[in-house]
Each structure stands twice: as C-alpha cells, then as structure tokens.
Structure 1
Amino acid sequence: MSPVFSHGDLRLYILSLLDEAPRHGYDLMQALTERTGGTYSPSAGTIYPRLAKLEEEGLVTKTVDGRKTVYEITDAGRTEVAARSGDLQGIQAGLADSVRLIADEVRGSVRDAMRSLRADLAAASREEREQAQPSLVDDARSRSREQLSRADAALTEFRGRVRSELRAHVARGGELREAGVDEIEAALRQASDAVARAMRV
C-alpha cells in the first residue's frame, strides 16, 4: 500500500484515471506521480497487480499494442467510478489539504530559521564593527571567515531539517503537489532576500 493512498483509494484512483482515457502501465505510473506532486512514484510491482485484479473483476480490459499493453475501463468500471464520485472528491480534497499543510510547515520553518540567522548575522556584524581597526584587517577577515562558517552551518542544519520534515510528511501519507512546491519555492526566495538584507545590517 502506498504512503499516499488509504486502503482502496489507489484502486479507485487508477479506475478514475482509466475513466479519463485508456492508458498503459507506464502511463499510469507517470500520471500518479504527476497527480501527487511527485510525492508518490509507484513501481510496476504496485500497479500491475492492481490492474490484473481490476481485470479479474471485469472493471478493465487490456489489449496488446506492439510492446505495450493498454488498459481500458469497462462499463462496469465506469459505473463504479460514478457511484464512488464522492469518495474520489474526498481523495482529491485530502491531497490538496496535504499540500497546503506542508507548504505552511515549510514557510514556518523558513521564518524561524531566518530569524535566527538574521540575529546571528547582525550580532556578528556589530561585533566586527566594534572590534575592527585599520591595522587589524587580517583579523577582521579571519573573524568574517569564522562567521561565514557559522552561517553555512546554520543553513546546512536548516536544509537538513526541512528535508527531514518533507520526507516525514510524505511517509505519514501526506502529499506534495506542484502548487505546494511552488509555495515552498516562493518562501525560499523570500528567505534568500532576508539573508541579503541581514548581511547589510
């Protein structure tokens, strides 16, 4: 069972994709990856057994087209998709909620990390201004290198924490869709701007 879909949801989602158009197995795997924002990339070992089961139930048929096997939904399959339209809407709403949640979590982590980094950079800048003297240029450069290492360590720690949160979210069944990644990228651009402003303090 995938970390994104609850019990039975993947089966229904595959049926809904076939209701849109006939597809071969690889096409289904690509569609699932795209629809889940890249958080779930099913393997052939996950997709084909479910397709075989749907075929046994009379919900899909398959035809061989060259080297590809194309799956097509049957009338019985369409009837099930129509009867469970409410379940499908629930699945889609859950995926959208998960994207918003992970985006909010990332924005919060970015804000916290940037507040800490701005404070560290501001303190380092004040310390350098207080201690710097024309005759001690080399010492000032040495201190700057030390502070650079400190800032780099903070950024590395932040990156690791956010990656861990993202992976944990997906492992718990969360979804990360394209819109959510767009929000994450926007938050990171804001964070980059904040770093630039902090260095000017």
Structure 2
Amino acid sequence: MAPVFSHGDLRLYLLSLLDEGPRHGYDIIQALSDRTGGTYTPSAGTIYPRLAKLEEEGLVSKSVDGRKTVYEITDAGRAEVAARTGDLEGIEAGLTDSVRLIADEVRSNVREAMKSLRADLAAATREERSTTRQTPRNDEPRTASREQMHRADAAINEFRARVRTDLRSHVARGGELAASVIDDLMASLDGVAREITRSLRR
C-alpha cells in the first residue's frame, strides 16, 4: 500500500497545520486523520520526532499549557510555508489521490474475500447435493450434514481470518477504516446470507 505522504511532505504539511494556529500533539494527529477522511492516523512516534526536528530548525516553538505541550509556528516557519505554497498545493492534490487509492484498495480486498467465500460456499453446496444424491438411503443423513457443517465452519473462519488480517494490517500501517468500507462489507455479508438461505430452501 502506497504511503499517504511522500518523503518530506509530512514535514511541510505539519508546518501548514501549525500555520493555521497553535496545536498540541494529539490535535495535530486528529487533524491529519480528519484531513485524510480517516484513512491516515499517524502514531505519536511518527509526529513528535518531526515536531522536535522542526523546533531544532527554528521553524516551530513549543510551550507547556497545563499537562499539554502546545506547538506554534515561528516567523521562519511562516516564511517557509509562504515560499512553498505551490508545493503545498501539490501535496493536497496528491493527498486526495492517495486517500482515494487506499479506500479503493481496502474495498477491493473486501470484495475479493467475499468472492472467495461465495465460491467456497457454492462449492460446498454443490458437493452436498451430490453427496445427498449418491448416499444410500440406509446411511445416516445427519453424519453427512455434520461433515458439511464442519466444511462451512472452516470456510467462514478462513474468510474471517483473512479479512481481519487485512483490516488490522491497514490500521497498523496508520490507516483508519472508513465507514463506507464496513458498510460494503456488511452489505456483502448480508447478501451471502440471503443466498445461503435461498439455497437451503430449494
């Protein structure tokens, strides 16, 4: 998955956020999450070292307000933001594209996982019908059904593990799940459940 910010862009974007007004660390993290539609929420370990570097360069100053450390842009920082207006516009445009790509990638992963689950369930249904037709009448039907239940459980657990891994990896890389992605997932799961119900009633 491509990073939201290219090398050096986050530094300038932090300056632009502080150019809007003083902020404490959590406020900066929240602002980045809001500006990216929740797809990028950096860790404190990402933000604070960069703020410390900006302070060393004389572009940012900090003060303590109660239990919070507040960061404020300096005149030198404002001069850099003003001088790099064109770069900021490019970052904003790239940010919009990156967020769109990340959201599309997550949706694509969910769709592929759903397709795989549908295929597994369809194969299980076909095999169940074939087994039912071929099983002698004196065999215990419940034994065959229990075997198919085990297969269904395995397919569902595999799907759950794959999707959960994809979602956790996305969040661990600094992303935040958009509500639309989970809405798509829930709608797809509901559709699969209806298909299974119709198959069982045939």
Give 1:59's aligned residue: 59
Show CA shifts across 1:103-153 (max 9, x none). 1232123123212222313432554477596x87xx333322221211111
Q: What amino acid does structure 2 have at the position aligned with 1:185?
A: D
Give 1:37's aligned residue: 38
Q: Is the 8 A contact 2:40 2:176 kept in 1?
A: yes
Give 2:124's aligned residue: 120
- Work out which of the residue numbers 107, 123, 127 in structure 1 matches 2:111: 107
User: Equivalents in 2 of 1:189, 1:121: separation in Å?
Assistant: 22
Q: Is the 8 A contact 1:114 1:191 kept in 2?
A: no
Q: Is the 8 A contact 1:38 1:176 kept in 2?
A: yes
Give 2:192's aligned residue: 194
Give 1:88's aligned residue: 91
**Larger RCO: Structure 1 or Structure 2 (Cα < 8 Å, ≥ 6 residues apart)?**
1
User: Equivalents in 1 of 2:145, 2:80: separation in Å?
Assistant: 66
User: Equivalents in 2 of 1:169, 1:66: separation in Å?
Assistant: 35
Q: What amino acid does structure 1 have at the position aligned with 2:88?
A: S
1:49, CA displacement in angstroms? 2.1
List gaps (5 residues or longer) in structure 2: none
1:23 corresponds to 2:23? yes
- Matched residue of 1:62: which SS? strand
User: Equivalents in 2 of 1:72, 1:178: separation in Å?
Assistant: 30
- Matched residue of 2:63: which SS? strand
Q: What amino acid does structure 2 have at the position aligned with 1:22?
A: P
Q: TM-score, normalised by structure 2?
A: 0.74
Q: TM-score, normalised by structure 1?
A: 0.74
User: Equivalents in 2 of 1:47, 1:32: separation in Å?
Assistant: 10
Question: How has the CA–CA distance of structure 1 residues 141 and 37 changed in structure 2, closer, same or farther, with 3 Å as cutoff?
Answer: farther
Q: Compute the RMSD of aligned alpha carbons.
A: 3.2
Question: How has the CA–CA distance of structure 1 residues 119 and 192 changed in structure 2, closer, same or farther, with 3 Å as cutoff?
Answer: farther
1:157 corresponds to 2:155? no
Which stretch of the first structure deviates more once superposed, 54-63 or 117-126?
A: 117-126
1:161, CA displacement in angstroms? 2.6
Q: What amino acid does structure 2 have at the position aligned with 1:18?
A: L
Q: Is the 8 A contact 1:4 1:40 kept in 2?
A: no
Figure out how many residues of one structure are paired with residues of the other and give that number.
192
Q: Is the 8 A contact 2:37 2:99 kept in 1?
A: yes
Question: How has the CA–CA distance of structure 1 residues 4 and 196 changed in structure 2, closer, same or farther, with 3 Å as cutoff?
Answer: same
User: Equivalents in 1 of 2:40, 2:144: separation in Å?
Assistant: 42
